[in-house]
Chains A and B, each alone.
Chain A
Amino acid sequence: MNTVIIKNIFRSTTTLCMRSQKSINTAAACIVKRDFHTTKPTQDLMEFFDAKKNWPETNIRVGRAWKLDELRLKSNTDLHKLWYVLLKERNMLYTMEHECNERVRLFPNPERIDKVEESMNNIESVIRERNIAYYKLETGETGERPVKDVINLIGMPEKYQPSEYDTPKFMNTRWVRPYLKHGFINSLAVKKFRRLYNEKIHSEVRKAHNRDFNHVQHLLKRFPNLDMDTLKAEYPNVDIEKAKRTKKSRGHFMPTY
């Protein structure tokens, strides 16, 4: 009898021990995680503001934004952490900018916002790059949201991004196709709109062409040692031989070309 009880006690102690071992393990994991956790212990609204000693500063100089090549060296966890560091910094900058405007003061170094945004964009593109690589390897597709080239209801070419639905297309009676089937325009109004719109675009292109031609003529008139290859590269749509023959392009010098 006694032995059974003792056995039971032992069993329970061992389980207790195991439990405690587990709890120790989890506690250790927590500690390890806390080591990586870099947020400041003060978690109040003042985290939206800059450090107090920076408030009267007129010039807060910081380094440049993170480049793509630097971010490519970093692990996913690091990128994830860096994203939140940048997000907090951006929130802080927006708050400080707003506060400076409220108090009619100059916000020091507003280019910091652009630097943070550039870094965040770069992080996004690096992550996208990695995900695309994974999906291409595993499924042969990019895994990005699909994009279709369609003609929209007013006859303009558009990039259509399909959305996700729980019912298939033929069952979904509430869905209305927001683009033309096969790109075929059969509405008079759309046809008229396209005609006028094309005319507008055509006249804009023509004007740009005339403007460039005129500009080249003036350049030929002004600069006797003009490099023709550079000119051709800069204005590929202009007929330079024709421009050279015009009266407008004749300068007060003997041309070398």
Chain B
Amino acid sequence: MRIYGYLAKKVGDLTIKYSNFPESYVKKSYEQVYWKTPAGYPQYKKAQVARKKYRFTTNRPWTGQFRQQNEPGTLRKKVFLEPIRDWTFFRGDRVEVMVGKDKGKQGIVSQVIQERNWVIVEGLNTHLRVVGKDKNFPGITIQSEAPLLVTSDVKLVDPESLKATDVEWRYTEEGDKVRVSLASSRIIPIPKTAEETIDYKSKELYIDNIEKDTTADAATKITFAPKLRTFEMDIMEEMGIKEDRVPAKSYWY
């Protein structure tokens, strides 16, 4: 715990879901390990020298921009995050902005950055940015959204009154966990857009890689039949391997 504790659970699970990568890959891609106990030496205690403090921003942890912002030797001020028990904001949610020049306006969440308690609302809370400025070219001005804190800057919209409301997680009679608006006690369903990842908009729209992917039918086909055999016994029987030799007596210590 002391060795790896500081690396545990830094990237939010929504981020990993969005990336569509295995968790181990995301971790590997942003970690900066300077030294590690070499593999194959069980006599040495497992230890590693790694960077402890990373600055998470709107750049996703597996990207080159993230690596650039966290180059070895760069140290930035600590960011204090308000602890949140249950995350309630998802991509595609309708939210109302509670601060800034767009206070009172409603928009759709386009990005969720759990590592900083941020959401980005489409077209709201924007500033102007000049892109591609050159000696001969004045550049193009674009609008870019600034992130908003989920704890204080945005609130979900109540589906009945269409006004900002606080939200609570509750269970339905069927046992499903749902978000309930505290203003009208109506369920706020999680939008379909929430399952969007880098690779596909929704699970149904994923196009199979014909050569490499197993088809869904083959993956869900039930071929298991319970037998009173271990795996090895079953495989040996299947392959017609007969083993009649009786192992010599052995002692475990």
Taking Cβ atoms with an 8 Å cutoff, the residues of A that contact B are 51, 60-66, 70, 72-80, 89, 110-111, 114-115, 117-118, 127, 130-131, 134-135, 137-138, 143, 146, 162-169, 175, 204, 215, 218-219, 222-223, 225-227, 229-231, 233-234
List of B residues within 8 angstroms of A215 by Cβ: 80
Cα A75 to Cα B223 in complex, Å, equals 5
Given that A63-B209, A63-B213, A77-B238 are known contacts, is A162 also in contact with B82, CB under 8 Å in the complex?
Answer: no
* Assembled-state Cα–Cα distance A24/B129 (Å): 79
Q: Is the CB of B25 within 8 A of A166?
A: no
Q: Which stretch, B136-144, B186-194, B226-234, touches the partner chain A?
A: B226-234
Contact B152 A73 (CB under 8 A): no
CB-nearest residue of chain B to A145: B252
Identity of the chain B residue whose Cβ is nearest the Cβ of A78 in the assembled complex: B223
Interface string of B191-206 (1 = CB under 8 A from A): 0000000010000001
Q: Which residue of A lies closest to B221 (CB)?
A: A73
Q: Shortest beta-carbon distance, A75 to chain B, in Å?
A: 4
Q: How far is the CA of A146 from the CA of B252 in the complex (A)?
A: 9
Enumerate chain B residues within 8 angstroms of A222, measured Cβ to Cβ: 80, 82
Q: Which of A66, A80, A164 contacts B251 (CB 8 A)?
A: A164
Q: Does B242 contact A (CB under 8 A)?
A: no
B253 at the interface (CB under 8 A from A): yes
Q: Do the beta carbons of A165 and B213 come within 8 Å of each other?
A: no
A168 touches B209 (CB 8 A): no
Given the interface pairs A63-B213, A230-B84, the reply to whether A75 lies near B224 with Cβ below 8 Å is: yes
Q: Which residues of A contact B85 (CB under 8 A)?
A: 227, 229-230, 233
Alpha-carbon distance between A78 and B222 when the two chains are bound, in angstroms: 10
Residues of A within 8 A of B174 (CB): none
A163 touches B252 (CB 8 A): yes
A78 CB to closest chain B CB, in angstroms?
5
- Per DSSP, chain B at the interface is loop
- Option from B2, B151, B211, B238 in Cβ contact (under 8 Å) with A223: B151
Q: Are A51 and B211 in contact (CB under 8 A)?
A: yes
For the complex, give the distance between the alpha carbons of A163 and B252 in Å. Answer: 5
B220 proximity list for chain A (CB < 8 A): 70, 73
One digit per residue, 1 when the CB lies within 8 angstroms of any chain A CB and 0 when it does not, for chain B 58-85 equals: 0000000000000000000000101111
**Considering the chains assembled together, what is the distance between the CA atoms of A234 and B70 in angstroms?**
26
A-B contact pairs, 21 of them (CB 8 A): A61-B199, A62-B213, A63-B213, A65-B22, A75-B223, A75-B225, A77-B234, A77-B235, A77-B238, A110-B25, A111-B25, A114-B24, A130-B230, A134-B230, A165-B250, A166-B248, A169-B251, A219-B80, A229-B85, A233-B83, A234-B83
Q: How far is the CB of B243 from chain A (nearest CB, A)?
A: 17
- CB under 8 Å from chain A, chain B span 1-55: 2, 20-22, 24-25, 28
Other-chain contact of A127, B209, B221, B231, B238 (Cβ < 8 Å): B231
Instruction: Find out whether the CB atom of B230 lies under 8 angstroms from the CB atom of A135.
Output: yes
Q: Which residues of B contact A70 (CB under 8 A)?
A: 219-220
Q: Give bound CA distance, A79 to B221, whole Å.
A: 13
- On chain B, the residues within 8 Å of A64 by CB distance are 20
Q: Mark B205-218, 1 if CB is under 8 A from A, else 0.
A: 01011011110000
A219 touching B82, Cβ below 8 Å? yes
| Docked CA distance A70–B211 (Å) | 20
Which one of B28, B223, B248 lies within 8 Å of A74 (CB-CB)? B223
Contact with A along B94-125 (1 / 0, CB 8 A): 00000000000000000000000000000000
Q: How far is the CB of B172 from chain A (nearest CB, A)?
A: 23
Q: How far is the CA of A130 from the CA of B223 in the complex (A)?
A: 15
> Chain B residues with Cβ under 8 A from A225's Cβ?
151-152
Q: When the two chains form their complex, are residues B209 and A61 in contact, meaning their CB atoms are under 8 A apart?
A: yes
Assembly CA distance A164 to B248 (angstroms): 11
CB nearest to B24 among chain A residues: A114
Contacts of B151 on A, CB cut-off 8 Å? Answer: 223, 225
A73 to B24, CA, bound (A): 25
CA distance A227 to B238 in the complex (A): 60
Not counting A70-B220, A76-B238, A127-B231, a sample of 7 additional A-B residue pairs whose C-beta atoms are within 8 angstroms of each other reads: A63-B208, A66-B219, A70-B219, A165-B251, A169-B253, A227-B85, A231-B83
Q: Is the CB of A166 within 8 A of B251?
A: yes
Residues of A within 8 A of B251 (CB): 164-169
User: Chain A residues with Cβ under 8 A from B249's Cβ?
Assistant: 166
